Chains A and B, each alone.
Chain A
Amino acid sequence: MTRRQKTTTYLIVVPFAILLAFPFFFALVTMFKTNLDLANVEHSPFLYNDLEGGFHWDFWNYATTEHVRFLFEETNYPKWLLNTLMVGAAVVGITLLLAMPAGYALARLAGGWGQSAGVAIFLVYLIPPTLLFLPLSRLITQLDLKDSLWSLILIYPSFTVPFATWLLMGFFKTIPQELEDAALIDGASRLKSLYLIVLPISLPGILTVVIFAFSLCVNEFIYAFTFISSSEQRTVSAGVPNDLIRGDVFFWQSLMAAVLIPTIPLALLYNAFLDRFIKGFTGGAFR
């Protein structure tokens, strides 16, 4: 790149990065702030101040880990993180189990109506979930899954499977038919060809599905909130607004810590897989 191109590049990406990431930097600072420092309108929100608002270079003496400690020791936050992880992993598994065969079938075997099926699948996302939780509550109760993480594991695939199917369908289409034909000629059955040939090549697509499905699970909160009532069984998106907001008191510092802690690993994960993800998308759900 030329010098000029380099400068313009930095001139664009750096401001974007700042705008997108500054709330998290701010959360990082806030989670260690003392109550008196935070409550004072005059004090800088980006620094740790003494009682008069002055800054000191040994700023760690004016910050506190009390709120983070509170988050981990006096709420069920660690349990929520674990629950979220478990639900996410299980749902990703179920999603792959349902979507891979369906995606393959629609890509290879369904011919003409595969296209329209793809569109139809997508339409599922347009159903507003705000009221669906009521009939689903009835379903959950009849299956005796109320107050259990299994209720979420059962319901979440309903919004991960359509996208996964659609994505995998497009991805499978880009795998040259010749590869499979060669395997078939060699005597393998269709199922075997799916297993031995197609799957390994579609790893990027699968990773894409994993990331996307996991992120959808972590973001969901309406079902997470209404299906599970006891605090220990909640996921992070349901537990945090419930336990860290008490009537008219917001535990701001703990809330900020709660935001940051799952986000950083997830962002690292997404970033690491970003190239694979791009390959997955390029695989072309649109061809």
Chain B
Amino acid sequence: MEAQAARAKPVSGRWRHALERRSVLAPLLIAPAVVFMALVVGVPFAWAIYLSFTDAIGGSLSGNWVGFDNFTNAWQDDNFRRALRNTFIFTLASQAVVLVGAAVLSNFLVRDFRGKWLIRFLVVLPWAAPVVLSTIGWLWLLDSLYSVVNWTLARLHLDNGLVWLLSAVNLEEDAQVPLQWLGRPNLALVAITLVHAWRILPFAVVIFIAGRASIPNEVEDASRIDGATGVKKLWYIDIPLQLPIALVAVLFGIVFTAVDFAVVYLLTRGGPFNSTQVLPTWAYFIGIDGGSLGEGAAISLFLFPLLVVVSVGMLFFARRAQVT
């Protein structure tokens, strides 16, 4: 009977009926996005993987097969190993700063106070500025001669104190005033970490605020009734509830920082003496400026498997930690 009815329906009706079925509608709606991504990201990505196994040079998109040579050669170069190490350092350190900063700031930004709109506007600025432009600004702020940071520190008489602090924590032994933020390896690491953190902090703050807003009011009321306040509340209620959100914020921060090219390239070009190279910049110098494209492709892909594992892990953990 159904079959008869189906045959009897006009073509448009049958088509309409088909669209009602999940198994047809779902792929149809997803298809444009997937096809687009496959063409524009998938194909080039696959090509980049291919290149990393060849000896392609100069921008040419083909070369002779060399197996894993590019990967092993890269690993043997101490500049590469330092770039790998730095990628981790920048990513983890900056996100740690972001995490703490955003957690604290978001806590207070949800309150109502006069000037809240202005404060929010100021907080959002680093995130609103295009990264290339704001990094060029930092280049001037940390300049070897004209650094505004140093000038301000000097006027506030904090510069010698900072030098003392740096040697006290064993970060810099014999730093001199004015501090060369981009000229001493450890200072440069600190400077780049802070610029990354500065840029991501507003974004994380917003996500944290969103997370707070998502804590159902009943939980707030219940905790107050139960007498949980202050640190106890923080530890047993706030943090677990905000954990999923925090993880997402950290995850995005990690991804944006780990694959970032602009900040290191513009601030130090990997210097001083190649001590602040990260994988994206080292891949660029070897693969593009140095002409060894296959090697550059291998370097840039090194981190990908690791990032995949980390992201997948964090996302599933975030899902599991949901308290709904």
**Contact between A and B in the complex (any CB pair below 8 Å):** yes
Query: Which of B25, B33, B111, B130 makes the CB contact (< 8 A) with A165?
Result: B33
Indicate if B30 sits at the interface (CB-CB under 8 A): yes
Given A122-B311, A158-B36, A190-B25, also A132-B20 (CB < 8 A) = no
Question: Given contacts A126-B308, A162-B37, A236-B130, are A5 and B125 in contact (CB under 8 A)?
Answer: no
**Contacts A259-B134, A270-B124, A271-B117 given; does A13 touch B45 at CB 8 Å:** no
How many interface residues does chain B have, given as a range? 35 or more
**Is A134 an interface residue when CB atoms closer than 8 A count as contact?**
yes
Select the stretch in B76-84, B201-209, B224-232 that faces chain A: B201-209
Tell me if B214 and A189 are in contact (CB < 8 A).
no
A41-B315 contact, Cβ under 8 Å, with A219-B131, A281-B207: no
Contact across chains for B206 and A105 when beta carbons are under 8 A apart? no
Q: Is B222 an interface residue (CB 8 A)?
A: no
A75 on the interface (CB 8 Å rule)?
no
10 residue pairs bridging A and B, Cβ less than 8 Å apart: A102-B29, A127-B259, A130-B284, A131-B48, A138-B61, A139-B44, A157-B36, A190-B19, A215-B128, A219-B130
A23/B121 in contact, CB under 8 A: no
Q: Which residue of A lies closest to B300 (CB)?
A: A128
Instruction: Name which of A55-63, A66-74, A175-183, A261-269 contacts chain B.
Output: A261-269
- Checking B30, B34, B133, B297 against A131 with a beta-carbon cut-off of 8 angstroms, the contacting residue is B297
Of the candidates A119, A131, A267, A282, the one whose C-beta lies within 8 Å of that of B128 is: A267
Bits for B239-283, please: 1 = Cβ < 8 Å to A, else 0: 000001100100000010011011000100000000000011101
Which of A77-128 touch B at CB < 8 Å? 97-99, 101-102, 104-106, 109-111, 115, 117-119, 122-128
In the bound complex, do residue B134 and residue A282 qualify as a contact, i.e. CB atoms below 8 Å apart? no
Complex Cα–Cα for A283 and B239 (A): 19
A44–B297 CA distance with the chains assembled, in angstroms:
46
Of chain B, the residue at the smallest CB distance from A270 is B124
> Contacts A1-B113, A122-B311, A282-B213 known; A98 to B36 CB distance under 8 Å?
yes
Asked whether A215 and B119 contact (CB < 8 A) given A13-B105, A20-B202, A27-B137, the answer is no
Known interface pairs A45-B151, A126-B259, A263-B128. Does A132 touch B45 (Cβ–Cβ under 8 Å)? Answer: yes
A218 on interface, CB distance cutoff 8 Å: yes
Taking a contact as CB atoms under 8 Å apart, the answer to whether A259 and B136 are in contact is: yes
Binds A, one of B2-10, B88-96, B140-148, B161-169: B140-148
Contact A135 B61 (CB under 8 A): yes
Is A236 a contact of B202 with CB atoms below 8 Å?
no
A-B contact number at CB 8 A:
276
Distance between B82 CB and nearest chain A CB, rounded to angstroms: 18
* A89, B297: Cα distance in complex, Å: 32
Closest CB-CB distance, A255 to chain B, in whole Å?
Answer: 6
| A residues with CB within 8 A of B | 1, 5-6, 8-10, 12-14, 16-21, 23-24, 26-27, 30, 38, 41, 44-46, 97-99, 101-102, 104-106, 109-111, 115, 117-119, 122-132, 134-136, 138-139, 154-155, 157-158, 161-162, 165, 189-191, 215, 218-219, 221-222, 236-237, 240-241, 250, 252, 255-256, 258-259, 262-263, 266-271, 274, 277-282, 284-287
Q: Are A278 and B33 in contact (CB under 8 A)?
A: no
Chain A residues within 8 Å of B175, by CB: none
Other than A21-B126, A128-B279, give 18 A-B pairs with Cβ distance below 8 A: A6-B113, A16-B105, A30-B140, A99-B33, A105-B29, A122-B315, A123-B311, A126-B311, A130-B284, A130-B300, A131-B284, A135-B43, A154-B40, A158-B41, A161-B36, A190-B20, A255-B137, A274-B124
Chain A residue with Cβ nearest B324: A287
B26 with A266: CB separation less than 8 A: no
Q: Chain A residues with Cβ under 8 A from B26's Cβ?
A: 105-106, 109-110
Contact of A274 among B37, B47, B206, B287 (CB under 8 A): B206
On whether the beta carbons of A277 and B206 are closer than 8 Å, the reply is yes
| A contact residues around B71 at 8 Å (CB) | none
What distance in Å separates the Cβ of A28 from its nearest Cβ neighbour in chain B? 11
Contacts of B316 in A (CB 8 A): 119
Bound state CA distance, A127 and B19, in angstroms? Answer: 35
Q: How far is the CB of A211 from chain B (nearest CB, A)?
A: 10
* Cβ of A217 to closest chain B Cβ, rounded Å: 10
Nearest-neighbour CB distance to chain B for A172, whole angstroms, equals 11
- Cα separation A110 to B25 with both chains bound (whole Å): 10
Residues of B within 8 A of A125 (CB): 255, 259
Q: Are A135 and B30 in contact (CB under 8 A)?
A: no
A271 to B126, alpha carbons, bound, how many Å?
Answer: 12
Which residues of chain B have C-beta atoms less than 8 A from A240's C-beta?
A: 132-133, 136
Report the minimum CB–CB distance from B33 to chain A (whole Å). 4
